[in-house]
Structure 1
Amino acid sequence: MLSARSVLVTGSNRGIGLELVRQLVGKSKGPEWVFATCRDPEGPRAQELKNLAAKYQSVKILQMDTNDPSSIKNTATKVTEKLQGNGLNLLINNAAIVRVGTLESETAEDMSEVYKTNVIGSMLVTQAFLPLLRKASQKSPQKGMSCSKAAIVNMSSEAGSITNLLAWEYGHVINYRCSKAALNMLSRCQSLRYAEDRILCIALHPGWVQTDMGNTEGLAPLTVEESVQGILKALSHLTEKDTGTFVNWEGAPVPW
């Protein structure tokens, strides 16, 4: 069972991020803190998240633009203050964007923008929260690795699998595919670097999900609720043998 005391989710105002927050706080023994970050917490697209925060004291909404290093640093400072000497158990790098197009129509601007958010943003967020993840790992009485102790979950996609290239026939989305392949490499590197800290690092494919992003190339087969139920169940079973791997929402391995 996932029993992380504190969780941070980026891109939490809609889609998978919002549902992760909803299901985490809906558990009978949910986290003490769920830090829900998004670029515009005051905007209309964050209303559902604000409703959750009004209902559950454990939800703390924080403004964070993963493309802005100073914004990330400010958020890390606020989270550190809230945790009052405790560490952060689970970081879920979920914020991501896509720009629809073909291989022929792909532009340098779209490629750069998507890579900046999906790869560089995740890297910067992890760097900023690493001290808190290390602290959580050091303070935990648990042996080995787990998502309840200290973990980095990078929300990837089988669309970035070089072996499988999920849904190629439905859309090229080159910027998205390349960014997720790069995120997978980042996850693997993090797992090697932070093994000595006992921080579990994973790349996770949430499925082809019915979200604003998932439906850009037609109706996706998996509901957000089903995906997140599976994700949380899968995360609860991960151990040190899984660190540095690429798995799907059911915990099954995905080829690189």
Structure 2
Amino acid sequence: MKEFNVRSVLVTGSNRGIGLGLVKRFLELPSPPEWIFATTRELDESQSKEVIELALKHSNLVVLQMDVTDPNSIKAAAQRVEEHVQGHGLNLLINNAGITQVTTMENENVETMAIVYLTNTVGPLMVSQEFLPLLKKAAQQSAQTGLSCSIVNMSSMAGSIALVTSLEFLQEPSYRCSKAALNMVSKCQSLEYKDYGILCTSIHPGWVKTRMGTEKAPQTVEQTTQAILKMLSTLYEKENGSFVGWDGQIYPW
């Protein structure tokens, strides 16, 4: 893998699954980030035990409580990050937190559509808005030309309108719609933030063995997160505003 040097990174939804896996991969880098911020909706040990234990072993890992559906919670987390980075900003924001609800076109309803959309689409947008000043600061200080800092939104191939040819395998319309909308958020961010030196993209992580992905999934968290870090190390301006797979493949919207 190309040497991946990033001074600071924040990963939402880091108490389990892909988020926790990404935190572990960053810690394992030959030159790990000076600061890794892992956010979780609940800080109690029953929900976030593993990431809290990791933080006790690694002084550069900070676990923060943050509910991506709560603006006050997001603001408080951003203030904590600002205290730690001490004027250097945030180099990489990974909007990983997300949920799904098992629904069909027949029984989909207002409640599931609202909470899934709020968490998967509005949440990443609000988090990005709140952390934008720190991302701008890091980009301004970077010696790298072009797009030096990144917002990465964890999407899904299930949100690709072009690739949905059948609902036989997975219906869950609220999840699909939320990820399709998140892809539009990424595209809009890529246009709005390019002049600040911030790259924005959506990522399809593949089908992964997590609580959401189930044990039927072919990919392990370790395989997927290793591949994602490899892919992130090669992102360049041409990927700004794109929908990239964990394997580096560009997916259609």
TM-score range relative to shorter protein:
over 0.9
User: Is the 8 Å Cα contact of residues 10 and 93 (structure 1) preserved in structure 2?
Assistant: yes
Please give the secondary structure, in 2, of the residue aligned with 1:196: helix
**What CA distance in whole angstroms lies between the structure 2 residues aligned with 1:166 and 1:240?**
31
Measure how far apart 1:166 and its partner are. Answer: 8.4
Match of 1:223 in 2: 220
Paired residues in the alignment total: 251
Match of 2:104 in 1: 102
**What CA distance in whole angstroms lies between the structure 2 residues aligned with 1:103 and 1:139?**
48
Please give the secondary structure, in 2, of the residue aligned with 1:137: helix
Letter in 1 for 2:246: W
Measure how far apart 1:121 and its partner are. Answer: 0.5
Match of 1:171 in 2: 170
Match of 1:73 in 2: 75
Do residues 206 (structure 1) and 205 (structure 2) align?
Answer: yes
Do residues 49 (structure 1) and 36 (structure 2) align?
Answer: no
Measure how far apart 1:235 and its partner are. Answer: 0.4
Unaligned runs of 5+ in 2: none
User: Is the 8 Å Cα contact of residues 227 and 249 (structure 1) preserved in structure 2?
Assistant: yes
Identity rate, percent: 53
Measure how far apart 1:83 and its partner are. Answer: 0.5
CA-to-partner distance for each residue in 1:5-61, whole Å, 9 max, x for gaps? 100000000000000001101112110100000111224121111121111111100
Match of 1:141 in 2: 143
**Within 5 Å, which residues of 2 pair with 1:1-256?**
1-145=3-147, 149-165=148-164, 168-215=167-214, 219-256=216-253
Please give the secondary structure, in 1, of the residue aligned with 2:10: strand
**What CA distance in whole angstroms lies between the structure 2 residues aligned with 1:248 and 1:68?**
29
Query: For the structure 1 residues 166 and 46, does the alpha-carbon distance in structure 2 shift closer, same or farther, using more than 3 Å as the test?
Result: farther
Per the normalisation by structure 2, the TM-score is 0.97
Please give the secondary structure, in 1, of the residue aligned with 2:63: strand
Per the normalisation by structure 1, the TM-score is 0.96
- RMSD over aligned Cα, in angstroms? 1.1
Query: For the structure 1 residues 167 and 65, does the alpha-carbon distance in structure 2 shift closer, same or farther, using more than 3 Å as the test?
Result: farther
Please give the secondary structure, in 2, of the residue aligned with 1:70: helix
Unaligned runs of 5+ in 1: none
User: Is the 8 Å Cα contact of residues 45 and 52 (structure 2) preserved in structure 1?
Assistant: no
Query: For the structure 1 residues 5 and 166, does the alpha-carbon distance in structure 2 shift closer, same or farther, using more than 3 Å as the test?
Result: farther
Please give the secondary structure, in 2, of the residue aligned with 1:237: coil
Letter in 2 for 1:160: G
Letter in 2 for 1:21: V
Please give the secondary structure, in 1, of the residue aligned with 2:153: strand
